[in-house]
């Protein structure tokens, strides 16, 4: 499975309806929504109301990445708002197994996110429970940052762990992904590619999505 998930963080929020239509027509597979609380990460974006409003605009799978403290307090609200996938940071959760089950109980797919400095070794016990693992390839908080090159080896290591444990977990990667590195990441075992700046910051976002899809086909 190989999917492209444009991140609306880099879109123009005042034109959100037409921007979503444009990436949908270009073949985007999911819509990645970055929720930031100004506490877990040094930036603030939006909450469940925005997710509910976007839900009304699109049939695309909504991939909600929670960069917030105490995510257990909010996951049900995001699920109710229409999130199809919900991911929470390992670094923000005290009882990750309980939280992953809480997400699954809402009917959403549950993802566990690792910051760049967190080793995939911490996933050993949660891997059989998580639907997907989201590896951050930049420090979370902002779009348009430079790809952290050691993330490729990290994806390979996680791929090997998944094979060894024989789970159905898929790998998503987020941060600094574009046409120059997507093929290499796909070869390293990444299944879902988040791209904010590479899509919305390009002269022709639709063409960029088409190129990305070709590179991972």
Determine, following the binding rule CB under 5 A, whether residue 34 of this chain makes contact with Zn ion. Answer: yes
Determine, following the binding rule CB under 6 A, whether residue 198 of this chain makes contact with ligand DX5. Answer: yes
Determine, following the binding rule CB under 6 A, whether residue 175 of this chain makes contact with ligand DX5. Answer: yes
Determine, following the binding rule CB under 6 A, whether residue 26 of this chain makes contact with ligand DX5. Answer: no
Which one of the listed residues 29, 34, 37, 63 is annotated catalytic?
34
Asked if 53 is an active-site residue, the reply is: no
Determine, following the binding rule CB under 6 A, whether residue 48 of this chain makes contact with ligand DX5. Answer: no
Rounded Cα–Cα distance for residues 211 and 199 (Å): 11
Asked if 174 is an active-site residue, the reply is: yes
Q: Give the number of other Cβ atoms within 10 Å of residue 183's Cβ.
A: 13
Judged by CB under 6 A, the stretch of 4-12, 50-58, 102-110, 209-217 that binds ligand DX5 is: 4-12
Q: CB under 8 Å to 56, separation ≥6 — which residues?
A: none
Under 8 Å between Cβ of 141 and 41: yes
**Phi, psi dihedral angles at 196 (to 5 degrees):** -100, -75
Strands of 170-174's sheet in order across: 3-6, 192-195, 170-174, 132-136, 109-114, 85-89, 61-67, 30-36
75 binds, among ligand DX5, Zn ion, none (CB under 5 to 8 A by kind): none
**Phi, psi dihedral angles at 197 (to 5 degrees):** -60, -40
> What's the CA angle centered on 169, arms 167 and 172, to 5 degrees?
155
Site for ligand DX5 in 58-77 (CB under 6 A): 65
Which one of the listed residues 37, 63, 131, 174 is annotated catalytic?
174
Determine, following the binding rule CB under 5 A, whether residue 37 of this chain makes contact with Zn ion. Answer: no
Determine, following the binding rule CB under 6 A, whether residue 111 of this chain makes contact with ligand DX5. Answer: no
Determine, following the binding rule CB under 6 A, whether residue 34 of this chain makes contact with ligand DX5. Answer: yes
Helix (H, G, I), strand (E, B) or coil at 76: helix
Residue carrying the six token digits 């990305």: 212
Rounded Cα–Cα distance for residues 71 and 5 (Å): 22
Please pick, from the candidates 37, 48, 65, 197, the single residue that binds Zn ion as defined by CB under 5 A: 65
Judged by CB under 5 A, the stretch of 48-56, 65-73, 123-131, 156-164 that binds Zn ion is: 65-73
Please pick, from the candidates 61, 76, 118, 145, the single residue that binds ligand DX5 as defined by CB under 6 A: 145
Give residues in contact with ligand DX5 (CB under 6 A): 7, 9-10, 32, 34, 65, 138, 140-145, 174-177, 194-198
Catalytic sites, residue numbers: 34, 174
């Amino acid at each position: 499975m190989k999917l492209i998930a444009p991140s609306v963080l880099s879109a123009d929020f005042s034109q959100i309806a037409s921007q979503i239509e444009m990436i949908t027509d270009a073949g985007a597979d999911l819509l990645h929504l970055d929720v930031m609380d100004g506490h877990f990460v040094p930036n603030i974006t939006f909450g469940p109301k925005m997710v509910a409003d976007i839900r009304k605009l699109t049939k695309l799978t909504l991939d909600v990445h929670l960069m917030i403290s105490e995510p257990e307090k909010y996951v049900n609200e995001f699920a109710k708002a229409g999130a199809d996938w919900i991911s929470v940071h390992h670094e923000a959760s005290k009882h990750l197994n309980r939280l992953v089950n809480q997400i699954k109980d809402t009917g959403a797919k549950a993802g566990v996110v690792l910051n760049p400095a967190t080793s995939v070794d911490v996933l050993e016990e949660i891997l059989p429970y998580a639907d997907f693992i989201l590896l951050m390839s930049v420090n979370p908080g902002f779009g348009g940052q430079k790809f952290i090159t050691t993330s490729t080896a990290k994806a390979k290591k996680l791929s090997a762990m998944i094979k060894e444990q024989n789970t159905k977990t898929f790998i998503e990667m987020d941060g600094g992904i574009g046409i120059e590195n997507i093929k290499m990441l796909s070869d390293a075992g990444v299944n879902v590619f988040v791209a904010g700046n590479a899509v919305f910051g390009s002269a022709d976002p639709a063409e960029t999505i088409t190129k990305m899809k070709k590179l991972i086909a």
